[in-house]
Every structure is written in structure tokens, then in C-alpha cells.
Amino acid sequence: MVTELGLLVVLVYVIVTALKKYGLDHKFAHLLSIPLGILSSFGLLQCTSIREYLMIGLFIGIGAVGICDTVSNCVTTLQEIFKRA
């Protein structure tokens, strides 16, 4: 189950990143990751209750947003470091 969750977080992250590259605003792309996480949990996981689908879907969406922000901050910081050098 942990491997499946990790793969779904990465899948949602890739979809959101692709949408941002095609011109979707940064704020809307992050908001879209939560419904994408919920839809992916309903479509690709086998859970016992709707509550479990929703909670895991929220986890997937929020995890994808966290990855987006972390990668973005790291890239910005590295760009600033290399500009100074």
C-alpha cells in the first residue's frame, strides 16, 4: 500500500507539473492536485470505505503539492547560488 501511495503522489505531481508548463496558473494547479489525488484513490486503489478513499486521496493530493513546492524552492535557491558564483 505504501508503494502504491508513493507512486500516486508522483503521478499527481507529474500531471500538475505538466499542466503548469502548459500555462495553468500556479495557484490553480496546486488546487487541482487535491481532486486529482481523490480521483486517483477511487480509481486505482482498493479501500474498504468511502472515508478511507477520501482520506488517502487527500494525502495523495497534499503530498503532491508539497513535492511541487519543495522542488520549486530548491530550484530557485540553486539558481540564485549559481548566479552569484
Give residue-wise pLDDT tens across range 25-48.
877 888 899 999 999 999 989 889
CA 52 → CA 2, 12, 36, 37, distances in Å?
A: 14, 18, 16, 13
DSSP string, the chain: -HHHHHHHHHHHHHHHHHHHHTT--HHHHHHHHHHHHHHHHHHH---SSHHHHHHHHHHHHHHHHHHHHHHHHHHHHHHHHHHH-
pLDDT digits 0-9 by tens, 62-78: 999 888 778 878 888 89
Instruction: Look up the pTM and report it.
Output: 0.81
CA distance 62 to 31: 9
Mean pLDDT computed over every residue of the chain:
89
pLDDT tens-digit readout, 6-17? 899 999 999 998
pLDDT of residue 83: 87
Output the pLDDT for position 41.
Answer: 92
Predicted confidence band at 85 (pLDDT cuts at 50, 70, 90)? low
